[in-house]
């Protein structure tokens, strides 16, 4: 009866976040909604393979970092080539936690949201 549609992150710098998600994960803008008065912009990023999107919400008057608590929530991405992805993220300097025993690692975006990278399901 229901299916996943999107997930939201509130961000401080829209262009910086869009660049990160393109460079790190290959996500592209698929649509946007802008407030006529310029107070907010919502951008949806997609992977080109599924209908699921990541919604980035930018608020004009927001200057302070968002309180992410202990960052226990996250969005996960399956990497087609896990080793190549790991090397790319290592070069980008965005790996924030690794768990070799579980075969996963996390990267953090410019606003410090954690993104889990997992290998393909076997």
What is the per-residue pLDDT for 90?
98
* pLDDT per residue as tens, the chain (122 positions): 878 899 999 999 999 999 999 999 999 999 999 999 999 999 999 999 999 999 999 999 999 999 998 878 899 999 999 999 999 999 999 999 999 999 999 999 999 999 999 999 86
11/82 Cα distance (integer angstroms): 27
- The domain tally of the chain equals 1
Domain membership of residue 53 as a residue range:
6-60+74-118
Does the residue 48 lie in any domain? yes
Let me know if residue 94 belongs to a domain: yes
- Residues 3 and 51: their CA atoms lie apart, in Å, by 10
**N residues, the chain:** 122
Contact in structure between 72 and 112 (CB atoms under 8 Å): no
Confirm if 43 and 28 have CB atoms less than 8 A apart: no
Q: Look up the CATH number of the domain holding residue 96.
A: 3.10.180.10
Give a yes or no: residue 66 inside a domain: no
């Amino acid at each position: 009866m229901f299916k996943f549609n999107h997930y939201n992150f509130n961000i401080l710098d829209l262009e910086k976040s869009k660049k990160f998600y393109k460079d790190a994960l290959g996500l592209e803008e698929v649509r946007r909604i802008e407030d006529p008065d310029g107070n907010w912009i919502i951008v949806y990023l997609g992977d080109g393979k599924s209908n699921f999107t990541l919604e980035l919400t930018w608020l004009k008057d927001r200057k302070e970092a968002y309180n992410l608590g202990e960052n226990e929530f996250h969005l996960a991405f399956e990497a087609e080539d896990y080793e190549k992805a790991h090397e790319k993220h290592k070069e980008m300097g965005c790996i924030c936690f690794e768990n070799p025993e579980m075969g996963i690692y996390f990267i953090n975006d410019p606003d410090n949201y954690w993104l889990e990278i997992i290998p393909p399901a076997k």
